């Protein structure tokens, strides 16, 4: 009889991954808010970390970042990537995990996508089509 592996293809993250990622997200939010990050792309930026995703072995974590205001999320992600070693050192002191994960930063475009969907739903063409469906 074959044993099935726990990591099924297409399965979502485990509870362990979700808990560790949320722990890291909270710690990174605190570190970014408290520390004076000297990278020019981060100067004066209010940074939001919307989500952190953990690899199955918890050794790599990807943080999805954006900025409140006019700053470009890609520039914020690039600045945080350049500061990853510093942030990882601070993270090691702030969390209790067997390994301090390698940090990767990606721009969070989910807010832009949500705004685009809202704009589409508010367009006259879509409103007209939705009205027809309600009448039918």
In-domain check, residue 121 = no
Which ranges of the chain would DSSP assign to H, the alpha helix?
Answer: 15-34, 73-82, 84-94, 110-122, 124-135
**CA separation for the pair 111, 117 (Å, rounded):** 10
Is 54 a member of any domain?
A: yes
> Would 1 be classed as within a structural domain?
no
What pLDDT, on a 0 to 100 scale, did the predictor assign at position 4? 47
Query: Taking 90 as the threshold, does the pLDDT of residue 134 lie above it?
Result: no
In this structure, the number of other CB atoms found within 10 A of the CB of residue 66 comes to 23
Q: Distance between terminal CA atoms of the chain?
A: 55
**126 inside domain:** no
Look up the CATH number of the domain holding residue 24.
3.30.300.20
Rounded to the nearest integer, the mean pLDDT of the chain is 85
Q: Dump pLDDT digits (tens) for 43-94.
A: 888 899 999 999 999 999 999 999 887 778 899 999 999 999 999 999 999 9
In a domain, 29, yes or no: yes
On whether residue 120 sits in a domain, the answer given is: no
**136: burial class by Cβ within 10 Å (0-12, 13-18, 19+)?**
exposed
Q: Is 136 contained in some domain?
A: no
Domain that holds residue 47: 15-108
- Tally of domains in the chain: 1
């Amino acid at each position: 009889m074959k044993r099935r592996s726990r990591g099924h293809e297409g399965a979502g993250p485990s509870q362990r991954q979700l808990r560790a990622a949320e722990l890291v997200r909270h710690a990174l939010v605190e570190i970014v808010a408290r520390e004076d990050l000297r990278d020019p792309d981060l100067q004066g930026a209010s940074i939001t970390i919307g989500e952190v995703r953990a690899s199955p072995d918890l050794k790599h974590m990807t943080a999805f970042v954006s900025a409140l205001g006019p700053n470009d999320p890609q520039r914020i992600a690039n600045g945080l990537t350049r500061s990853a070693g510093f942030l990882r050192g601070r993270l090691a002191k702030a969390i209790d995990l067997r390994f301090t994960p390698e940090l990767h930063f990606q721009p969070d475009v989910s807010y832009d996508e949500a705004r685009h969907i809202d704009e589409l739903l508010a367009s006259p063409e879509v409103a007209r089509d939705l009205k027809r469906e309600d009448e039918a």
